[in-house]
């Protein structure tokens, strides 16, 4: 638990305000949060397919299901292309337990109808609504207070999802000895946490991460100068051991330098972060917003150019993946003997026997 918390801390900069602001809570949504649904799932997956290809195949499976095809029939039809499995959820699930991508559909779909495929990683899920019911509201229910609390919860979930996504793309190596520092920090015992991070520096003198976390604590204590000293030490270590670099270190340092009106130094740190995220389109877009926010407008073009290159590479990769899919489909077609061919083969065998 503490290890997970530490790893994520490096990513919780000032991104929080950028997520969850688009969440709208209205009476329709509030009422739906008291609904529960009983569903079953059709799972379509193939690790070899791109997300676009898997989505396309899942849409075809959905069309077949709505046309009356059974899961067993589809398992045969799509053998060698995708795997198809099904299972029924025995219990009712709360509306908010479902992914936000399907909640709108869930609230308006009739019973025994299928929702559009919902895809993540290497699998797509086709959900059928079997039944629904409404939970009673508490005796002290107040819609305004409930809606306010609900929005705060959803905003936090959206932010945490963003943190998890970025963390998955940018894991940071940590050590078992950090557990004590994180424990103290989680308890609000900041001085003891600072001391523990200092001990960690003694154990791992080339690691810039403890400086990063000490800087965060100093910011909490409103000691920006001390935080800047820590981040400067961390950046110096990165210069000596480049493999220890992580973009969040430079962004954090740059953010504080901006607060101190040291734009030139801040720009240098943002540039170092830019160099570290060349292959990550999503992170490039986030950093681009930093440049725009701080009026480094003459540098925006390089972000657009790099993002365009990544988009082109993605298109080329998708084309290759499409060719691979077509090869799979061709192979599957060749493995299926048509009725006429089968009849001809049977006739030939009969003639030979005679």
Residue extent(s) of CATH 1.25.40.10 domains in the chain:
176-309
User: What is the per-residue pLDDT for 166?
Assistant: 47
The C-alpha atoms of residue 220 and residue 234 are separated, in whole angstroms, by 18
Q: Are 270 and 290 in contact (CB under 8 A)?
A: yes
* 156-164: average pLDDT: 64
- Please give the torsion angle defined by the CA atoms of residues 187, 192, 194 and 198, in that order, rounded to the nearest 10 degrees: -130
pTM of this structure: 0.46
* 221-230: average pLDDT: 94
Could you tell me the two tokens for 296? 């480094």
- 88-117 pLDDT tens trace: 888 999 999 998 888 889 988 899 999 999
User: What is the per-residue pLDDT for 332?
Assistant: 59
* Sign of the torsion angle spanned by Cα atoms 72, 75, 78, 80: negative
Which one of 9-23, 57-71, 114-128, 182-196 scores highest in mean pLDDT? 57-71
Q: Which residues contact 121 (CB under 8 A, 6 or more apart)?
A: none
Residue extent(s) of CATH 3.10.50.40 domains in the chain:
35-135
pLDDT higher for 203 or 173? 203
- Please give the torsion angle defined by the CA atoms of residues 207, 209, 210 and 212, in that order, rounded to the nearest 10 degrees: 140
User: What is the per-residue pLDDT for 324?
Assistant: 72
Model confidence band, residue 135 (pLDDT cutoffs 50, 70, 90): very high
User: What is the per-residue pLDDT for 100?
Assistant: 83
User: What is the per-residue pLDDT for 302?
Assistant: 94
CATH topology of domain 176-309: 1.25.40
pLDDT higher for 18 or 260? 260
User: What is the per-residue pLDDT for 17?
Assistant: 41
| Architecture field, domain 35-135 | Roll (3.10)
Q: Are 201 and 207 in contact (CB under 8 A)?
A: yes
- 16-56 pLDDT tens trace: 444 444 567 888 889 999 999 999 999 999 888 888 899 99
pLDDT higher for 330 or 203? 203
* 244-259: average pLDDT: 92
* 181-199: average pLDDT: 80
């Amino acid at each position: 638990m503490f290890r997970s918390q530490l790893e994520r801390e490096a990513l919780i900069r000032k991104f929080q305000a950028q997520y969850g602001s688009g969440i709208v809570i209205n009476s329709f949504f509030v009422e739906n949060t008291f609904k529960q649904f009983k569903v079953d799932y059709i799972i379509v997956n193939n690790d070899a397919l791109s997300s676009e290809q898997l989505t396309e195949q899942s849409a075809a499976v959905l069309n077949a299901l709505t046309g009356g095809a059974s899961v067993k029939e589809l398992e045969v039809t799509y053998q060698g292309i995708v795997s198809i499995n099904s299972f029924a959820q025995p219990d009712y699930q709360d509306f908010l337990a479902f992914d936000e991508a399907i909640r709108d559909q869930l609230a308006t779909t009739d019973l025994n109808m299928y929702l559009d495929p919902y895809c993540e990683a290497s699998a797509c899920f086709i959900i059928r609504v079997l039944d629904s019911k409404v939970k009673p509201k508490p005796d002290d229910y107040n819609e305004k207070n409930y809606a306010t609390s609900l929005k705060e919860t959803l905003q936090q979930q959206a932010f945490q999802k963003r943190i998890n996504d970025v963390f998955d793309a940018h894991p940071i190596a940590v050590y078992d000895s950090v557990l004590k520092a994180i424990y103290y920090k989680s308890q609000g015992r900041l001085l003891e946490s600072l001391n523990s991070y200092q001990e960690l520096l003694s154990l791992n003198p080339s690691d810039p991460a403890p400086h990063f976390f000490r800087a965060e604590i100093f910011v909490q204590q409103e000691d920006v100068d001390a935080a800047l000293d820590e981040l400067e030490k961390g950046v110096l270590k990165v210069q000596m051991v480049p493999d220890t670099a992580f973009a969040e270190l430079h962004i954090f340092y740059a953010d504080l330098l901006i607060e101190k009106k040291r734009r030139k130094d801040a720009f240098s740190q943002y540039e170092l972060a830019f160099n570290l995220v060349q292959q990550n389109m999503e992170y490039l877009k986030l950093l681009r917003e930093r440049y725009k926010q701080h009026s480094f407008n003459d540098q925006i073009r390089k972000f657009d150019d790099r993002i365009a290159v990544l988009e082109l590479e993605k298109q080329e990769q998708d084309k290759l993946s499409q060719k691979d899919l077509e090869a799979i489909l061709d192979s599957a077609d060749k493995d299926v003997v048509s009725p006429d061919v089968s009849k001809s083969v049977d006739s030939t065998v009969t003639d030979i026997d005679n």
